Amino acid sequence: MRIGFIGLGIMGRPMALNLLRAGHEVVVNRRSGAADELADAGATLADGPRDIAAQVDLVITMLPNGPQVLDVTLGPDGVAEGAHDGLLYVDMSAIAPAAARNVHDGLAEVGVRMLDAPVSGGEPKAINGTLSIMVGGDEAVFRQVADVLGQMGSSVVLVGPIGAGNVAKLANQVIVAANIAALSEALVLAELAGVDPAAVVAAIRGGLAGSAVLEAKGPMILGRDFKPGFRIELHAKDLANAHETGEDLNAPLPLTDSVLAMMEELRNTGHGADDHSGLVQYYEALAHTQIGRAAS
């Protein structure tokens, strides 16, 4: 399939590379920071979203938030302006469900069929093609692109109609955020008690407290390695979208709001670009300590 890929950041770049490795023709924006690397790997360069859309069967976007998705799809020189018969569009960004529905409705006016398909797994799973992909939209469109999505993810699930993919993504982000906060809180408690947090992780990982979050983020917290696989500022954006969606639905989200406040505090103090495992720094600041003191 001939695929246009827009958004070659931490996640999008390896996802596009995996599509190239799977044998697809991939077209990218020549003004993207990773365009030269993709071109060296075999991608074709084009001049913006309209030009990309005009020459492909499927456009995929992986962008920071709803405003960027709206601009790339329905704005000047956007995907809608390059629409042609049979064009499909999959947005893999994490945006508010209402924003996904707005983009869907706008593209439907020019005959473009859309899915929202946000992902979970961070940079490591984007690199090895084992992302979890949560899809919203028409089942017939899903069947047309399921194989393509499967070349970027090991789990591809149609959740419901358009917007449902992002509802699932918000649920995922709420659970992950609360888990990282709980892990941070527990390890700072161990630190203050004079017990090696690494030994605590080793002791609890095989029990009910064991989780994918513990396995992925525990070593980063213990090693103070906050190089971003998924940045605090982006997770805060997702929690803000969850808060907004919760307000629309009268859904109580007290844990979400608490962790969002922590992440906003870290963003305001210069840690927004850290990996979300860096949430531990919020607890460390409150406790006037740092993980690793007990073991030193």
Q: Which residue has the tokens 């997702």?
A: 238
Domains in the chain: how many in total? 2
Structure tokens at 240: 């803000």
Clarify whether residues 275 and 206 are in a common domain: yes
φ/ψ of residue 183, rounded to 5: -60, -45
- Judge if 180 and 282 occupy the same domain: yes
Among all chains, which residue has been given the structure tokens 């005009």?
Answer: 54
Calpha distance 58→116 (Å, rounded): 13
156 and 197 assigned to the same domain: no
DSSP β-bridge partners for residue 28: 5, 45
Mean pLDDT over each residue of the chain, to the nearest integer: 96
Residues assigned a catalytic role: 169
Instruction: Give the pLDDT of residue 107.
Output: 98
Shared-domain flag, residues 252 and 192:
yes
Which tens digits make up the pLDDT trace of 196-215? 999 999 999 999 999 999 99
- Considering the domain architecture, whether residues 67 and 213 belong to the same structural domain is answered as no
Q: Among 178, 192, 202, which Cα is nearest to 257's?
A: 178
In this structure, is residue 50 part of a structural domain?
yes
191: in domain: yes
Q: How many CB atoms lie within 10 A of CB 191?
A: 23
In a domain, 112, yes or no: yes
CATH of the domain at 83: 3.40.50.720
Residue 255 resides in a domain = yes
80 in Cβ contact with 110 (< 8 Å): yes
Domain final position from 161, 180, 205: 161
Sequence-distant (6+) residues with CB within 8 A of 102 are 70
**Domain at 240, CATH number:** 1.10.1040.10
Q: Is 292 contained in some domain? A: no
Residues 137 and 49 in one domain: yes
For residue 67, give its domain range: 2-161
| Domain membership flag for residue 138 | yes
Q: Is 153 helix (H, G, I), strand (E, B) or coil?
A: strand
Residue ranges in the chain whose pLDDT is less than 70: 293-296
Question: 212-222 and 164-192 are packed helices; what angle lies between their axes, rounded to 10 degrees?
Answer: 50
Domain annotation covers residue 294: no
Cβ pair 249, 98 in contact under 8 A = no
In this structure, are 36 and 53 located in the same domain? yes
**What pLDDT is attached to residue 293?**
60
Same domain, yes or no: 21 and 94: yes
The C-alpha atoms of residue 264 and residue 170 are separated, in whole angstroms, by 17
Q: Residue 295 falls within a domain, yes or no?
A: no
For residue 76 the two structure tokens come to 């000047």
